[in-house]
Amino acid sequence: MSLTPEQLAEIEEQRAITAPTRRAVSPGMEERLYTAHPVLDHGLVRVIDYMGDDAAICQAARVSYGRGTKAVSDDRGLIRYLMRHWHSTPFEMCEVKFHVKLPVFVARQWIRHRTANVNEYSARYSILDREFYIPAPDALAAQSTVNNQGRGEVLEGAEAQRVLDLLREDAMRSYDHYEDMLTPDAEAGKLGLARELARMNLPANIYTQWYWKIDLHNLFHFLRLRADHHAQYEIRVYAETMCDITRDWVPAAYEAFEDYRLGGQNLSGKAVEVLKRRLAGEEVTQESSGMSKGEWREFMGVWG
């Protein structure tokens, strides 16, 4: 992660400022505020602001007029009930605003989650930094032969080095040309290309930045999909960092999320029937289950 001395000083200045408040405060999130957590080679995640805590979820569910009317154990039980029964609006009462620095190709995957407020760094007005995501060697893999969206075996030796060399050479060459197009040359009568046009030759592994504000319900949905081991590695590491932050922010809600969403399984009607038949001692095959081959494979991967 690349932060300039000026940026680091700005973060320390922000973290040094405190103020009295009547707002709900999460001690764990207070420790996270403004801190830049490194992700990938040049990326980061940091919390800019937040609203609410575990008690705010319960307050919204009860529509109560104050805090502290129930014991913490009661709050935990209520939060688990809400999560277990897929109640969403109480979790929407909490919000968080992240500053994220990420490769453009990750951003294009991330932006498919359309339940957040986003403001991205504009290359029409500013010049992008010479920072590109170059994978670690163990993150280079061939195309999976069984999953059109996934990776297969890790590349090794000369093949892996060739890929890394191509990525670096292409990135540096495109940025050199980007700078050339931006630079005016009075002697040659060149005005310099507009920034909004010069950016179009930059590769998808260049870094961008945005502010991303989302409520807790939709954040949990994002994390359930992107922190899953099936998710693409480059977005998964961001989600895992955000999981750690969210655990500190709303520990009771995150515990319920981890139990019922990350660690839980949804069953189709056919899957429930198959489990009942197996518990009754019946031997069930894919042919007699009523499931497709893909669904049966996934079912057996969990239940054996």
Q: Which helix (H) or strand (E) holds 270?
A: helix 269-279
3-state secondary structure (DSSP) of residue 4: coil
Task: Compute the Cα dihedral for 203, 206, 210, 214 and give only its sign.
Answer: positive
76 has catalytic annotation: no
Please give the angle made by the CA atoms of 235, 237 and 242, to the nearest 5 degrees.
100
Catalytic residue among 226, 236, 277, 278: 226
Neighbours of 196 (CB within 10 A): 11
Please give the angle made by the CA atoms of 75, 81 and 84, to the nearest 5 degrees.
140
Tell which phi-psi region holds residue 147, choosing left (phi > 0), alpha (psi between -120 and 50) or beta: beta
Task: Compute the Cα dihedral for 138, 143, 146, 151 and give only its sign.
Answer: positive
Q: How far is CA 73 from the centre of its chain?
A: 30
Tell which phi-psi region holds residue 74, choosing left (phi > 0), alpha (psi between -120 and 50) or beta: alpha
Which residue shows structure tokens 């009942």? 276
Q: Nearest Cα to 182, choosing from 114, 127, 119, 225?
A: 127
* Active site (catalytic) residues: 226
